[in-house]
A = this chain, B = another copy of it.
Amino acid sequence: MTSLASTTNHQIRLARRPVGVPVRADWSFTAEPVAPPERGGVVVKTLLLSLDPAMRGWMNEGKSYIAPVAIDEVMRAGGIGVVVASESAKFAIGDHVSGALGVQEYASFGERQLGRGELVGIDLRVGSPTQWLNVLGMPGMTGYFGLMDVGQPKPGETVVVSGAAGAVGQTVGQLARIKGCRAVGIAGGPAKCEWVVKELGFDACIDYKAGPVKDGLKAHCPKGVDIYFDNVGGEILDAVLTRLNRHARIIICGAISQYNNTEPVRGPANYLSLLVNRARMEGIVVFDYAERFPQAIAEMAAYLKDGRMKSREDVVAGIDTFPETLLKLFRGENFGKLVLQVAQA
């Protein structure tokens, strides 16, 4: 067992609740010695952290699907790490694990947390550490259960997904193709759109920066939209609402265009299209499907292996870059799943 006593754990904590786009002063940077593991617990060294749009919501006060991060608490983040000290029979030193490590270099899990399954082992033969944060992680599971359970795609249907080059979007579009649907992405800029079509095999991708999304939908969804997987909200949601087919399903996964609003959220003005088309808009929270993750991961891993599913991650190194790196999401600057590398494996 390595001596942790002389090791420092750098942490990033929420100093205050941001108004609009989070700025550096919304964070505090702390350092403390790494404590030995609790009885029955482990200490995990953080390798990679998942940066997700949902994090912005966790910084706000108020009721949501998960408690907000408290002021002065280490910022919540899912990640991949390696066990560096263990008093638990469940994990040995050197094991790779996935869990809510937080934005810090070392995370400690007690016996009770381990008993609740807050840390799970990952098999690097099934996927790389970054893939375990992407297709095999929360974004992949969100895309999987959002599309399959809420969307219920049927072969031949047209599936549109926004944030198509992002973590959830890339999964949704590729899975839609695998399930026999037409997959049309919406992404920002020609490079992302080209990648989505040429590398991921989407049928088409609409560059929302190049012209009205409505025109793109007309051109690329000649038979209308049966399923829309929404990661962005705002104007793009409104545009898709005008192209719905009868009995269409809209999966509300997120609304990244609205998360840093200082004004009220822009509601979908065209929501009465739901009435006209007997269509449905439904929210998904991935945690609800935790019991079925193993089965979905096995399915996705098989697609990775046979090449039908590809993944791309945008890896930025350095825990200190966290405040700025996070903002790439809201500027649409990440190309693939955004990952913060905290330490080398």
Give the B-binding residues of A (Cβ under 8 A). 63-65, 233, 238, 252-255, 258, 264-285, 288
Contacts of A279 in B (CB 8 A): 282-283
Distance (Å) between the CB of A212 and the closest chain B CB? 16
Do A266 and B268 contact each other (CB < 8 Å), given the known contacts A280-B280, A281-B280? no
Contact present for B253 and A238 (CB under 8 Å): no
For this complex, 29 residue pairs linking A to B, each with C-beta atoms less than 8 Å apart, are A64-B276, A65-B275, A252-B271, A252-B272, A252-B275, A253-B275, A254-B275, A255-B275, A265-B270, A265-B271, A267-B268, A267-B269, A268-B268, A268-B271, A271-B271, A272-B283, A274-B282, A274-B283, A275-B283, A275-B285, A276-B283, A277-B283, A278-B288, A279-B283, A280-B281, A280-B282, A280-B283, A281-B281, A281-B282
Contacts of A238 in B (CB 8 A): 267
Contacts of A288 in B (CB 8 A): 278
Contacts of A63 in B (CB 8 A): 276
Given contacts A252-B272, A278-B288, A281-B282, 6 further A-B contacts (CB under 8 A): A255-B272, A264-B269, A265-B272, A266-B269, A274-B283, A275-B285
Identify which of A233, A252, A253, A277 gathers the most chain B CB atoms within 10 Å of its CB. Answer: A252
Distance (Å) between the CB of A102 and the closest chain B CB? 22
Distance (Å) between the CB of A143 and the closest chain B CB? 15
Residue of B nearest to A272 (CB): B255
A42 to B278, CA, bound (A): 34
Contact present for A271 and B267 (CB under 8 Å): yes
Contact present for B285 and A278 (CB under 8 Å): yes
Q: Is the interface of A mostly helix, strand, loop or mixed?
A: loop
Of all A-B residue pairs in the complex, the 6 with the closest CB atoms, nearest first, are: A267-B267, A275-B283, A274-B283, A267-B269, A280-B282, A267-B268
Contacts of A268 in B (CB 8 A): 267-268, 271
Residue of B nearest to A244 (CB): B283
Distance (Å) between the CB of A223 and the closest chain B CB? 15
A271 to B266, CA, bound (A): 9
Residue of B nearest to A263 (CB): B269
Identify which of A65, A272, A277, A284 gathers the most chain B CB atoms within 10 Å of its CB. Answer: A272
Contacts of A278 in B (CB 8 A): 65, 282-285, 288
Distance (Å) between the CB of A336 and the closest chain B CB? 23
A253 to B272, CA, bound (A): 9
Distance (Å) between the CB of A221 and the closest chain B CB? 15
Residue of B nearest to A275 (CB): B283
Contacts of A233 in B (CB 8 A): 272
One of B65, B253, B271, B277 near A281 (C-beta < 8 A): B271
A283 to B238, CA, bound (A): 16
Distance (Å) between the CB of A44 and the closest chain B CB? 29
Contacts of A252 in B (CB 8 A): 271-272, 274-275
A274 to B252, CA, bound (A): 7
A255 to B274, CA, bound (A): 12
Distance (Å) between the CB of A342 and the closest chain B CB? 29
Residue of B nearest to A280 (CB): B282
Residue of B nearest to A66 (CB): B276
A238 to B269, CA, bound (A): 12
